[in-house]
C-alpha cells in the first residue's frame, strides 16, 4: 500500500501544478485488496501536503473509508450524513447544497449537470419554512465550535435574511434564477437544516420527485454534483466505487462523462477505485494513446493450484502492477489478465497463450517468466478443460525449450 500511496502522491503533485495537465488514476482489484483504504489514507496525506489543494472524498456506499467531516480543504462527500448513519430524508438537502456550491463557483455548472443527466431540476421550500428556521435556531449548540456556528446561524433569524428566504420560498423554485445573494443565503439555511424537496423533469416531460428516481439515477446525479461542487483548478477527486447501482451503459460512459465535466479545468487529479473492468476498458478506449493516465492493479498472490476465488478477502500478500491506458487493450484482456477470469470462451485466452510462446521464441521473454505467466493464466476462473490442456502444452513447450529450438530450425 505504501508503494501505491507514494506513487499517487507524486502523481497528484505533478498533475496539479500550473505547468502540468490533469491526470486520472484508476485502482482496480478484488474485494479485500485495499482499494478503499488507499483512498482514505491518500486523503489523510493530502490534508497535510503543501501547497494546499481542494480534496473531494466522493463515495456512494456507506462503507467508505474516508474520515467523516471536512478538515481544512479536504471535504467529505460520501453517503453518510452523520458519523455513523445515512438519512434518506437528507438526500434532497445534500444535492441542493452541492448544486448551490457549484453555482457559487460558476453559475453555468448547474446547466452542465442538467445537460449531462438529461433532466431538469427545481426545488420547493415548505410553507412553514420560517417556523422551521426559528425551531432549528432554538436547538443549536451553545459551546465550543458549535457555539461559534450558532452565532452565525442566529443572524439568519433577523428580519432581512428571513425576508429573502420568504421571497425564495414564494418564487418559482428555479436554481438558475437565484441571485448570488440568494444562493449564498439559501446555502446557509440548508446548513441550518431546513427542509427542501427537489422535483425532476425527465427528457420526455415526465415530472416526479427526486426520491422517485432509481437508486442508480440518484447515485449518478449525486456523484456528478459532488464533482461540480469543488470544480476548482488544482482540485483532487477521490472517487470510491462510482459504479454502485449504475447499469452497464452508464458504467461504460462514466469516464467520458467525467472528462467532459473536467474539461473546464487544466489542473486536476482523479483517483477512482472500482470493481468494474468495463469502466477502465472504456476509459482506455476513450483515450487509447494516453501514457499519463494509469491503471493500478491490486491483487492477492495466488499459490500454484489455487484460483483467485479461493483466496478470502483481506488475506494474503497484495501485489501492485501499473499500466498506462495505452497498454489496456480490451475489456476481455483486462478481465483475463488482472482478474484472472474468463467471461466467455474468449479469443483473448488463445491470444494470450500464443503471445507468451511467441515472445519466448523471439527472445523477448525468458522461460521462467513465461511459465509463471502461463500458470497464472491456468488459474483463471471459468476455463474449460480443453483450454487448460492447451496451457499445459504451452508450459511443456516452454520448459523444454522446444520453442526456441523450433524457431532456430526454421529456414532463413
Residue-wise pLDDT tens digits, 215-266? 899 999 999 999 999 999 999 999 999 998 888 889 989 999 999 999 999 9
Which pLDDT value is given to residue 198?
Answer: 96
Could you tell me if 308 and 274 lie in one domain? yes
pLDDT for 33-65, tens place per residue?
889 999 999 999 999 998 889 999 999 887 788
Q: Environment class of residue 131 by beta-carbon count within 10 Å: exposed (0-12), middle (13-18) or buried (19+)?
A: exposed
Which residue is listed with cell 489478465? 337
- Close Cβ partners of 380 (under 8 Å, ≥ 6 residues apart): 307, 336, 340, 341, 342, 349
Give the chain's length.
412
Number of helices and strands in the chain (H, E): 16, 10
In a domain? residue 78: yes
In a domain? residue 331: no
Q: Do the beta carbons of residue 24 and residue 272 sit within 8 Å?
A: yes
Which pLDDT value is given to residue 394?
Answer: 86
And the C-alpha cell for 82? Answer: 452523520
Q: Which residue has the higher pLDDT, 358 or 232?
A: 232
User: 404 falls in which pLDDT band (50, 70, 90)?
Assistant: low
CB atoms near residue 206 (< 10 Å)? 10
Could you tell me if 236 and 213 lie in one domain? no
**265, 287, 322: which is the final residue of a domain?**
322
User: 345 falls in which pLDDT band (50, 70, 90)?
Assistant: very low
In a domain? residue 132: yes
Could you tell me if 251 and 164 lie in one domain? no
Residues 115-139, mean pLDDT to the nearest whole number: 90
Could you tell me if 37 and 67 lie in one domain? yes
pLDDT for residue 344 is more than 60: no
Q: Indicate the pTM of the whole model.
A: 0.79
- Rounded to whole angstroms, the Cα distance separating 266 from 28 reads 25
Lowest mean pLDDT among 99-113, 325-339, 350-364, 371-385: 325-339
Could you tell me if 3 and 80 lie in one domain? yes
Which residue is listed with cell 530450425? 409
- Rounded to whole angstroms, the Cα distance separating 311 from 301 reads 9
Closest CA to 194 of 207, 185, 206, 205: 185
In a domain? residue 71: yes
Could you tell me if 199 and 249 lie in one domain? no
Which pLDDT value is given to residue 168?
Answer: 96
Which residue is listed with cell 470462451? 345
CATH number at residue 3: 3.40.50
- Rounded to whole angstroms, the Cα distance separating 342 from 319 reads 21
Residues 279-307, mean pLDDT to the nearest whole number: 81
Could you tell me if 111 and 203 lie in one domain? yes
Which pLDDT value is given to residue 311?
Answer: 59
Output the CA angle 357-323-38, nearest 5 degrees: 130
Phi/psi-derived region of residue 320, left when phi > 0, alpha when psi is between -120 and 50, beta in every other case: beta
Could you tell me if 103 and 209 lie in one domain? yes
pLDDT for residue 381 is more than 80: no
Q: Which residue has the higher pLDDT, 37 or 353?
A: 37
Residues 304-318, mean pLDDT to the nearest whole number: 62
CA 259 to chain centre: 12
In a domain? residue 225: no
User: 300 falls in which pLDDT band (50, 70, 90)?
Assistant: confident
Q: Which residue has the higher pLDDT, 332 or 200?
A: 200
User: 352 falls in which pLDDT band (50, 70, 90)?
Assistant: confident
User: 18 falls in which pLDDT band (50, 70, 90)?
Assistant: confident
Could you tell me if 95 and 82 lie in one domain? no
Averaged pLDDT of the chain: 84
Which pLDDT value is given to residue 307?
Answer: 58
Percent of the chain whose pLDDT exceeds 70: 82
Q: Which residue has the higher pLDDT, 74 or 281?
A: 74
Give the total number of structural domains in the chain.
3
Could you tell me if 213 and 102 lie in one domain? yes
Query: Domain of 92?
Result: 87-217
In a domain? residue 195: yes
DSSP, residue by residue, 232-292:
-TTEEEEEE-TTTT--HHHHHHHHHHHHHHHTT-SSEEEEEEES-HHHHHHHHHHSTT-SS
In a domain? residue 117: yes
Amino acid at each position: 500500500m505504501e508503494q501505491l500511496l507514494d506513487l499517487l502522491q507524486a502523481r497528484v503533485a505533478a498533475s496539479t501544478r500550473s505547468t502540468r495537465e490533469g491526470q486520472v488514476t484508476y485502482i482496480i482489484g478484488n474485494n479485500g485488496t485495499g482499494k478503499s483504504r488507499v483512498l482514505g489514507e491518500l486523503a489523510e496525506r493530502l490534508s497535510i501536503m503543501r501547497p494546499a489543494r481542494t480534496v473531494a472524498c466522493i463515495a456512494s456506499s456507506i462503507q467508505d473509508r474516508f474520515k467523516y467531516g471536512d478538515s481544512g480543504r479536504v471535504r467529505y462527500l460520501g453517503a453518510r450524513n452523520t458519523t455513523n448513519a445515512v438519512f434518506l430524508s437528507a438526500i434532497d438537502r445534500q444535492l441542493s447544497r452541492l448544486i448551490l456550491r457549484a453555482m457559487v463557483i460558476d453559475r453555468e455548472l448547474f446547466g452542465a449537470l442538467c445537460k449531462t443527466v438529461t433532466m431538469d431540476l427545481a426545488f420547493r421550500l415548505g410553507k412553514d419554512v420560517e417556523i422551521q428556521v426559528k425551531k432549528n435556531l432554538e436547538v443549536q449548540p451553545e459551546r465550543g465550535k458549535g457555539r461559534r456556528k450558532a452565532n452565525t446561524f442566529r443572524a439568519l433569524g433577523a428580519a432581512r435574511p428571513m425576508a429573502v428566504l420568504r421571497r425564495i420560498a414564494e418564487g418559482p423554485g428555479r436554481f438558475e434564477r437565484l441571485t448570488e445573494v440568494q444562493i449564498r443565503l439559501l446555502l446557509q439555511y440548508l446548513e441550518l437544516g431546513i427542509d427542501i424537496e427537489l422535483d425532476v423533469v425527465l427528457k420526455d416531460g415526465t415530472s416526479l420527485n427526486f426520491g422517485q428516481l432509481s437508486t442508480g439515477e440518484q447515485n449518478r446525479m449525486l456523484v456528478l454534483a459532488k464533482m461540480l461542487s469543488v470544480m476548482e483548478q488544482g482540485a483532487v477527486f477521490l472517487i470510491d466505487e462510482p459504479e454502485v447501482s449504475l447499469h452497464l451503459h452508464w458504467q461504460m460512459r462514466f469516464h467520458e462523462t467525467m472528462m467532459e465535466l473536467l474539461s473546464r479545468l487544466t489542473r486536476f487529479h482523479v483517483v477512482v477505485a472500482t470493481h468494474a473492468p468495463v469502466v477502465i476498458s472504456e476509459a482506455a478506449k476513450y483515450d487509447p494513446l494516453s501514457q499519463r493516465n494509469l491503471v493500478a492493479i491490486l491483487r492477492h498472490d495466488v499459490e500454484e493450484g489455487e484460483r483467485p476465488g479461493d483466496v478470502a478477502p483481506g488475506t494474503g500478500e497484495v501485489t501492485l502492477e501499473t499500466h498506462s491506458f495505452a497498454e489496456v487493450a480490451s475489456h476481455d484482456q483486462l478481465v483475463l489478465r488482472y482478474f484472472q477470469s474468463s467471461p466467455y470462451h474468449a479469443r483473448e485466452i488463445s491470444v494470450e497463450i500464443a503471445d507468451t510462446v511467441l515472445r519466448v521464441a523471439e527472445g523477448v521473454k525468458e522461460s521462467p517468466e513465461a511459465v509463471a505467466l502461463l500458470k497464472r493464466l491456468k488459474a483463471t476462473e471459468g476455463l474449460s478443460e480443453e483450454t487448460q490442456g492447451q496451457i499445459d502444452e504451452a508450459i511443456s513447450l516452454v520448459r523444454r525449450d522446444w520453442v526456441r529450438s523450433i524457431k532456430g530450425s526454421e529456414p532463413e
